Amino acid sequence: MADGGNTDDRAGDEGRQRPEQPGGNYAGAIYGSLLAASVVAGTATFGPFPRLGLLLLLLITGLVFWAAHVYALLVGDLLSYRHLTWATIRRVAGHEWPIVQAAVLPAVAVAVSPLLRLGLEGTAWFALSVAVAEQIGWASTAAVRAGASLRVVVVSGAVNLVLGLVIVLAKAQLH
């Protein structure tokens, strides 16, 4: 599900459009948080990663995946070619922007880690923790905003915790 199941931003789909969710693209925010956690975990294969390198890698990866999602949404449906406008491109790009935004908090964690007197390894764990917490938070918020029952909210948070823990375990095994 490369586009998070969103058909509401495709040009030419007027008959299938869904109203914009209040609060934005939670799927993009959750995906971006998973991506950020994976970037941090992936750097573990190289040993302690320099702070500036990790910070840039988080932000650049977020931007590249955002651009890929925008491109996939715009050209993935052949109807888009007939009705592609700058307004559509801006709308789709804005809708997918949470993928980039999700990389910001882990990048901030990397940037402030020296103030917390964290070494490079501690910095990576801090950024990974922030990304996983953000992922759980976005998933839970999405469930609450959708009017889900408390049980569904808890299950949503738990599923995202498990996904995050898989990434944490991968980092632990890689390092």
Cβ pair 124, 44 in contact under 8 A? yes
pTM confidence score: 0.80
List pLDDT tens digits, range 42-68: 887 777 778 999 999 999 999 999 999
In this structure, the number of other CB atoms found within 10 A of the CB of residue 112 comes to 12
Closest of 25, 18, 29 to residue 100, by C-alpha = 29
List pLDDT tens digits, range 79-130: 666 778 888 889 989 999 999 999 999 999 999 999 999 999 899 999 999 9
- State the distance between the two ends of the chain, measured CA to CA, in whole angstroms: 30
Predicted pLDDT of residue 45: 73
